[in-house]
Amino acid sequence: MSGPGAGPAPDGPAAPFALRALGPDDAETIADLEGEVFAEDPWSRAAVEEELRVPDRRYVAAVEGGEVLGYAGIRLGPDADIMTIGVREGRRGSGVGRALLADLLRAARESGSQRVFLEVRPSNEAALGLYARAGFRPIGRVRRYFRNPSEDAVTMRLDIMGARRS
């Protein structure tokens, strides 16, 4: 399955990639990538397995020739939560993160979510840029939300256009 953003970048020769849904069988691959992308505070293998198993989640990977370039996940519901998004260091800056996030937001819209929330480190300029570009706006701050290293979180929110109101 391919998604928005898949394919050559408009301004560069980046190779095409495809998006595919992840499931419990992908736990080992994703746990390895988790250790690479979030080396300072990765989810355990057990936590990854649980995330890929729970029914109200959507996890998706960007793949190219059998290699996973990045992955992302969301908890679906009226108020959805972005759980994670990460792209291999050497593949950042070529639209992979944007495509993964677009896939999660499409899943949120299709499942009837009204709002999408996330927490991000205020020092994470790339992630802040990615989310702002997708329409997320900062709505608050949570003291010492992150560990390794300890840091506040900026909470961001996106209202899904056209969602049914509760």
Ligand X SMILES: CC(C)(COP(=O)(O)OP(=O)(O)OC[C@H]1O[C@@H](n2cnc3c(N)ncnc32)[C@H](O)[C@@H]1OP(=O)(O)O)[C@@H](O)C(=O)NCCC(=O)NCCS
Give the binding site for ligand X (CB under 6 A): 37, 85-87, 92-98, 120, 124-127, 129-130, 133
Closest CB 46 distance from ligand X, rounded Å: 21
Cα–Cα distance, 83 to 11 (Å, whole number): 30
Q: Of 73 and 95, which CB lies nearer to ligand X in the complex structure?
A: 95
Residue with the CB atom nearest ligand X in the bound state: 97
Nearer to ligand X, 111 or 124 (CB): 124
- Min dist. Cβ of residue 76 to ligand X (A): 18
Closer of 71 and 76 to ligand X (Cβ): 71
Give the other-Cβ count within 10 Å of 125's Cβ: 10
Largest CA distance in the chain: 45
Q: How far is the CB of 95 from ligand X (least distance, A)?
A: 4
> Least separation, in Å, of the C-beta of 124 and ligand X?
5
3-state secondary structure 93-160: CCCHHHHHHHHHHHHHHHCCCCEEEEEECCCCHHHHHHHHHCCCEEEEEEEEEECCCCEEEEEEEEEC
| Spatial CB neighbours of 26, under 8 Å, sequence gap ≥ 6 | 52, 59, 61
CB of 164 to ligand X, least distance (A): 28
- Comparing CB distances to ligand X, the nearer of 94 and 113 is 94
Q: Which is nearer to ligand X, 128 or 163 (CB)?
A: 128
